[in-house]
Amino acid sequence: MGENGKLRVAAIGVGSLGRHHARNYAELAAEGRVDLVGVCDSSSETAAQIGSSHGCDHFTDWHDLLGMVDAVSIATPTETHCPGRKADRTYAWRSR
Bridge partners (DSSP) of residue 38 are: 10, 57
Q: Which of 12-16, 65-69, 72-76, 80-84 has the lowest mean pLDDT?
A: 80-84
Domains present along the chain, CATH in parentheses: 7-94 (3.40.50.720)
| DSSP secondary structure letters along 1-47 | --TTSPEEEEEE--STTHHHHHHHHHHHHHTTSEEEEEEE-SSHHHH
Indicate whether this model's pTM tops 0.75: yes
- Element spanning 83, H or E: helix 81-94
User: Do residues 36 and 2 touch, judged by C-beta distance below 8 A?
Assistant: no
**pLDDT for residue 85 is more than 90:** no
